A and B are shown apart, each in its own frame.
Chain A
Amino acid sequence: MAKLKIAKYWADGCGGCDVSLLDTDAKILEVAAIADIVFWPIAVDGKYSDLEAAKPGEIDITFFNGAIHTAEHEHIAQLMREKSKIMVAYGSCACMGGIPSLANTTDRESIFETVYHLAPSNDNPRGVEPQTRTKVPEGVLSLPMLYERVKRLDECVEVDYYLPGCPPFYKRVADVIDVIASGKLPPKGSVVGAKDKALCEECPRERHEKKVKEFKRPQFAQDDGKTCLLEQGIVCVGVATRGGCEARCINANMPCRGCYGLLPEAMDQGASALSAVASIIDSNDPKEIEKVVNQIADPLGTFYRFGLPQQRVRI
Chain B
Amino acid sequence: MAKITKKPDKEKIGVFLCHCGTNIAGVVDIPALAGYTRDLPGVEMVDEYKFMCSQPGQDLIKDSIKKHKLTKVIVAACSPLMHENTFRKACEEAGLNRYCFIMVNNREHNSWVTEDKALALQKAKDLIRGAVARAFWLEPLEVKEVGVNPNVLILGGGIAGIQAALDLAESGRTVYLVEREQSIGGNMAKFDKTFPTLDCAACILTPKMVSVGQHPNIKLWNYAEVDEVSGFVGNFKVKVRHKATSVNFEKCTGCGICQEKCPVKRPSEFDEGLGNRKAIYTLFAQAVPNKPVIDRVNCTYYIKGKCKVCEKFCEPKAIDFEMKDSVEEIEVGSIILATGFHLWEAGQMPELGMGKYPNVLTSLQFERMSNSSGPTLGKILLKDGREPESVAILHCTGSRDVNYHEYCSRVCCMYALKFAHLIKEKTKAHVYNFYIDMRCFGKGYEEFYHRLLEENVTFIRGKAASVTDRAENESESGKLIVMGEDTLSQKLLRLPVDMVILTNAIEPQLDAQEVARKFKISCAGGGFFLEKHPKLAPVATASDGVFIAGACQSPKDIPDTVAQGQAAASAVFALTQRGKVELEATTAIVDEELCSGCEICLSLCPYQAISHNAEKKISAINDALCKGCGTCAAACPSKAIFARHYTNQQILAELEGVLNERI
Contacts and interface: CB of A to CB of B under 8 A. Distances in A.
A130 B343 CA distance: 76
Nearest to B513: A284
B383 interface: no
Interface in A208-234: 208-211
B596 A266 contact: no
Nearest to B5: A189
A273 B603 contact: no
14 contacts: A164-B1, A197-B595, A198-B638, A200-B596, A201-B596, A201-B617, A209-B602, A210-B600, A210-B603, A239-B638, A263-B637, A279-B600, A280-B600, A310-B1
Given A198-B640, A207-B599, A272-B637, 13 more contacts: A187-B4, A196-B594, A197-B594, A197-B638, A198-B637, A211-B603, A239-B596, A240-B637, A264-B1, A265-B648, A266-B639, A267-B639, A276-B635
Contacts of A263: 594, 637-640
B3 A264 contact: yes
A292 to B, nearest CB: 15
B598 interface: yes
Which 10 A/B pairs are nearest by Cβ-Cβ distance? A198-B596, A265-B639, A200-B598, A240-B637, A276-B637, A279-B635, A201-B596, A200-B596, A264-B3, A272-B637
B635 A275 contact: yes
Contacts, number: 93
B637 A275 contact: yes
Contacts of B4: 187, 189-190
A264 to B, nearest CB: 4
Contacts of B634: 275
A266 B637 contact: yes
A273 B602 contact: no
Interface string A82-106: 0000000000000110000000000
Given A196-B593, A199-B596, A210-B600, A267 B1 contact: no
B517 to A, nearest CB: 11
B602 A210 contact: yes
A207 B603 contact: no
Nearest to B592: A197
A239 B597 CA distance: 9
A72 B636 CA distance: 40
> Looking at chain A, what size class is its interface with the partner chain?
35 or more
Nearest to A241: B637
Nearest to A162: B1
A262 interface: yes
B604 interface: yes
Given A164-B1, A196-B594, A201-B617, A266 B600 contact: no
Given A198-B596, A265-B648, A239 B637 contact: yes
A239 B594 contact: no
Contacts of A174: none
Contacts of A197: 593-596, 638, 640
Contacts of B1: 95-96, 162, 164, 191, 261-262, 264, 310
Nearest to A164: B1
B181 interface: no
A238 B597 CA distance: 12
Interface string A277-303: 001100000000000000000000000
Nearest to B601: A279
B591 interface: yes
A66 interface: no
A243 interface: yes
Contacts of A190: 4
A199 B603 CA distance: 20
A207 B597 contact: yes
B402 interface: no
Nearest to B593: A196
A209 B608 CA distance: 13
Contacts of A266: 637-639
Contact of A267 (B602, B604, B617, B648): B648
Interface string B610-643: 0000000100000000000000001111111010
B5 to A, nearest CB: 9
A198 B2 contact: no
A243 B596 contact: yes
A240 B649 CA distance: 19
Interface string A234-265: 00001110010000000000000000011111
Nearest to B600: A276
A310 B1 CA distance: 9
Nearest to B649: A265
A247 to B, nearest CB: 11
B7 to A, nearest CB: 13
B637 A189 contact: no
A280 B638 contact: no
A264 B4 CA distance: 9
Interface in B315-365: none
Contacts of A276: 598, 600, 635-637
Contacts of A265: 3, 591, 594, 638-640, 642, 648
Listed residue (B591, B594, B596, B604) with the most chain A CB atoms within 10 angstroms of its CB? B596
B599 A209 contact: yes
Nearest to B639: A265
A189 B6 CA distance: 12
B612 to A, nearest CB: 8
Contacts of B597: 200-201, 207
A243 B617 CA distance: 15
Nearest to A269: B637
A274 B279 CA distance: 56
Contacts of A310: 1
Contacts of A189: 2, 4
Contacts of A207: 597-599
